[in-house]
Amino acid sequence: MKKLLAFISAVALAASLAACGTSTAQPASDGSGVSGTFTGEAAGQGGEGNPVKVTLTLENSVITGCTAEGPGETDGIGSKAIDSMPGAIAESGSIAVDTVSGATVTSNAILAAAASALESAGLNPEDYKKEVAAAQASAEDVTKTADVVIVGAGGAGMTAAIVASDAGKKVIIVESQSMAGGNSVRSTGGMNAAKTKFQDENEFGESAGVEKTLKSADSFTGTNEETIKDLAKTVSEQWTAYQASPEGYYDSVELFELDTMIGGKGLNDPELVKTLAEKSESAIDWLDEIGAELHNVAAFGGASVKRIHRPVNAEGKVVSVGAYVIPILEKNLNDRGIEVLYETTANKIIMDGGKAVGIEAVTSAGGKVTINAGAVILAAGGFGANNDMVVAQNHPELKGYITTNAAGILGQGIDMGVEVGAATVDMDQIQLHPTVHVADDGSANLITEGLRGDGAILVNAEGLRFYDEVSTRDKVSDAENNQTGGYAWLIVDQKMLDASAVIQGYVSKGWTVTGETAEDLAKEMDMDGAVLAETIEKWNACVEAKEDAEFGRTSFAEKLEGPFYALTVQPGIHHTMGGLKINSNAEVLKEDGSAITGLFAAGEITGGVHGANRLGGNAVADFIVYGRIAGESAANYLK
């Protein structure tokens, strides 16, 4: 499979939006036009099995009302279109309303379902496609004042805003896109945190993982070697003490640090990693306080033990962390009356006497926005959606690669910081995620790493396992790229599907193939059934023995048993580990190590936390921990 940017063909799009409609009222027969309610549906992100449904109310063939349902659409992305577009259709009487930027699939499904509803009323949808004047942002110049101005309404920016607001500060956020969330809303796994009460609810069975990490530390050479050896010495002592008196679940701040440093190949800033690990437990508690519960704990790639904390739905099934947390952060913004200026792109930090005292931005209509503030927080994300910027970091091999990044992740915030003297670090460290599924419509979709932690395996086109599935992302991606076609199949079973709303979503979207037996599954995957059956049998023997002699995997769940489900995955650009240089107070630093007064940063816009490779679950930890620190530091600076 080629790692090319997805091209959405008209044929694929039409197929994905195949629609049907029904009516709940009969058209009038007196020549006055059609009146009643009529429903249409079309496949969106939820697929044909969980379509978008639109109900139109007609009076004399005029659209007077519109509602939409999309239970299969992504919270915080597709749900934005479900919430906003029906009102626009009802108000305008047209199905040619603007789509929601960043929610193209859901938006198009709404329009297709509306067209289907019109057809069910015996009407021609083309007659209802009158052009609707788009609501324009003001082109007038605007000046506002705040205590703290934040660039970016992703996880880090919203977290910082909540904390600063709770400290009594007036906060304004500017966001370049039409919705909040950035890359954060696309996070599928969870949040790493050490020594939480929720870990203690699990039985400890990860001895092999701890031993493997200590062995890796012992053989480690390179940058921050002394730090890693010292951490390993502390962890070894803790591990010995735990084995002598095994109470609760074993994890520690130092083991979290050690995993992160080894995963980052020692390029991480040890102080930033220490802060991340030390403040992770309190970050989980803070999320509880604002209404976000991450209590389900599991294994994840690069972690020695079960450390990733995940949300579950009302049925107890695991759901995507970003789609769960981002709407809760938004609610907290609204509850506090925090102003967010959408479709407003910051382009300059205002400096006065060496201090950051505000920003300048531009609206989508071209209006200039000036926000004077006592402190500035940059939380605009990395640059994973800017392929030219990625390639410019000495990565010509990534030209044209697919990406999981949101459209607004273009690196503008990093450029703004550099323009006022900020240093950058690790800009050439670009992470590929090994499990990205390219759908029939050409979209690149992140497949949660949690599936591998829960027991899924990867096989190549020949039906063979080829690497430790829960190793670090860089290593698994490299291994995948070396397989036939540069892709793999991710295999789960019915037990895993029943426990995960996330997997159920993949199935309903039509991304998977299935088989009652390994041989049946192999037919759908176009490979030798005997080979795949032997591969699964060998893996199940590894699970039973809790040992993977061939590839050294140390994370085991339950045996894989039919029915089976599989989908194709390949590496895609996922995270940029480099960015603005900060200290543990989230202050932005100059090349000489001194802080730029009044300027703070948090989240993927910063560098140093993750080194050469980010562990799954550390991005959410990063944006919550350092988002809180940035908000607190800015508020304290203004005292």
Q: What pLDDT digit, counting tens, does each position of 513-551 carry?
A: 999 999 999 999 999 999 999 999 999 999 999 999 999
Q: Indicate where the chain has its CATH 3.90.1010 domain(s).
A: 10-128
Q: Of the residues 186, 473, 614, 628, which is catalytic?
A: 473
Structure tokens at 476: 């698994």
Polymer length in residues for the chain: 639
Give residue for tokens 């063909």: 9
- Fold entry, domain 431-572: Flavocytochrome C3; Chain A, domain 1 (3.90.700)
* Section 152-159 average pLDDT: 98
Domain with CATH 3.50.50.60 in the chain: 140-189+332-429+580-639
Report CA-CA distances (Å) from 468 to 191, 329, 452, 550: 22, 35, 10, 9
Asked if omega into 563 is within 30° of 0 (cis), the reply is yes
Q: Alpha carbon of 514 to those of 506, 536, 565, 569: distances in Å? A: 12, 15, 4, 15
Contact 426, 608 (CB under 8 A): yes
Helix, strand or coil for residue 209?
Answer: helix
* Percentages of the chain per state (helix, strand, coil), in multiples of 5: 35, 25, 40
CATH number of the domain at 10-128, please?
A: 3.90.1010
Domain 140-189+332-429+580-639 CATH class label: alpha beta
Span 472-523, pLDDT tens digits:
999 999 999 999 999 999 999 999 999 998 899 899 889 999 999 999 999 9
Q: What is the pLDDT of residues 224-239, one digit of tens each?
A: 999 999 999 999 999 9
Residue 304 identity (one-letter amino acid): S
Reading the block at residue 637, the tokens are 């600076």
* Parallel, antiparallel or unpaired: strands 308-310 and 368-378: unpaired
Range list for CATH 3.90.700.10 in the chain: 431-572
The two tokens of residue 483 are 């397989």
What pLDDT score was predicted for residue 20? 65
Other C-beta atoms within 10 Å of 155: how many?
A: 32
Place of tokens 């091209």: 7
| Residue 473 among the catalytic residues | yes
pLDDT class of 5 with cuts at 50, 70, 90: very low
Note the pLDDT tens digit of each residue in 84-121. 999 999 999 999 999 998 888 899 999 999 999 999 99
* DSSP-derived 3-state class of residue 110: helix
Q: For tokens 């816009």, what's the residue?
A: 605
